[in-house]
Structure 1
Amino acid sequence: MMNNYKMILVAIDGSRQSEKAFMEGVQLAAANDATLVIAWIINEDELAHSAFAYSKILKEEKENVEKEMLKKLHDAEQAGVHKTSSVIEIGDPKEYLAKIIPESQNIDLIIMGPTGKGAIQRALVGSTTSFVVNNTNCSVLVVR
């Protein structure tokens, strides 16, 4: 693997696979003195199909994600990553991870797991990872 990555995006969603991707992203960012951008995109479609009040679920999910993100930023800094930032958005993970974030932040490597938490949604609309691999303009590392 080339050692010239300077802007690394790692996608997390609370799944075991995204935790592995996060750890790989931390190691690569530390080794390359790269900026690590940690992104958690709350899939609005999955929340919209819930029987509970949408706004209540969205608020609770966002609070949980914000707490988890603070832990991830701390963990990355403790592991030697000097430049970190986070992105928490509500919307379509495919578009954010493949296009919006990479283009706006000049990402040169995306790291993600092969699957995430949304098994039902993945079966209905296809894999986010597959979409990112086929629709982004930078390198993608899929961590198993």
Structure 2
Amino acid sequence: MYDTILIPTDGSQVAQHAVEHALDIAAKYDADVHTLYVVDTGAMDVGLGTEQVDRLRQGQFGSMPEVRERAESATNAVAEAARGSGYDLEVTEAITAGQPHRQIASYAEDNDIDLIVMGSAGRGGIKRALLGSVAERTLRTTHLPVLVVDVHED
């Protein structure tokens, strides 16, 4: 049923909680695992300039090592969780830039993903209506199954 699972991550605790679910599903279905970090170019500082944002969209992170480090740290955390899970899972790590929901959907299509497992920040009320969330936008952008793991803080 699920041969390839995508775990989009931003390195947050909510994303890490989704990783546990995704790895469990991957082990049950003997699925390949991909993890993706999307540099949100829409949220980048306006002071960067168009040229810098274009470089990010093309995957040229050399001029912004802190962005590359944050992205690699997030995807590495997923790979480490897979190695430490006791399951025999290989993880493909990827970094891209653009609108997160669109990049997630595009990556999923390009890599024959069968299931997307991602965290939700659990926003509600007005914030949710005004801002939306990457998870909600991903649900509207792709026709693939999306498992959204919500974590409520105590």
- Which TM bucket (shorter chain)? 0.7 to 0.9
CA shift for structure 1 position 68: 3.5
Could you tell me which amino acid in structure 2 is paired with residue 131 of structure 1? R
Partner Cα separation in structure 2 for residue 137 and residue 114 of structure 1 = 18
> In structure 1, what residue type is equivalent to 2:102?
E
What is the aligned counterpart of 2:93 among 86, 99, 115? Answer: 86
> Residue 124 of structure 1: CA displacement?
5.8
Residue pair 1:47, 1:58 contacting (<8 A) in 2 also: no
1:1-144 → structure 2 map (5 Å cutoff): 4-49=1-46, 58-79=64-85, 80-97=87-104, 99-115=105-121, 125-144=131-150
Q: Which runs of 5+ in 1 are unaligned?
A: none
CA contact (8 A) 1:29 1:81 kept: no
Kindly tell me the number of residue pairs found equivalent between the two proteins.
Answer: 134
Q: Distance in 1 between matches of 2:18 and 2:121?
A: 11
1:76 Cα offset (Å): 0.7
Name the CA distance, whole Å, in 2 between partners of 1:39 and 1:139.
17
Indicate if the aligned counterparts of 1:11 and 1:21 stay in contact, CA closer than 8 A: no
Output the aligned Cα RMSD: 2.6
The CA deviation at 1:93 is 0.4
Distance 2:33 2:118 in 1: 13
| Mapped partners of 2:44, 2:65: distance in 1 | 11
Q: Point out the more displaced range, 34-43 or 65-74.
A: 65-74
Letter of the 1:84 counterpart: V
The alignment-based identity, stated in percent, is 27
Higher CA-based Rg:
2
Q: TM-score, normalised by structure 1?
A: 0.79
- The offset of 1:105, in angstroms, is 0.7
TM-score, reference length from structure 2: 0.75
Residues 113, 143 of structure 1: 8 Å contact kept:
yes
Contact 1:39–1:87 (CA<8 Å) still a contact in 2? yes
Instruction: Output the CA distance in 2 between the equivalents of 1:134 and 1:45.
Output: 18
Q: Once structures 1 and 2 are overlaid, which stretch shifts more, 6-15 or 71-80? A: 71-80
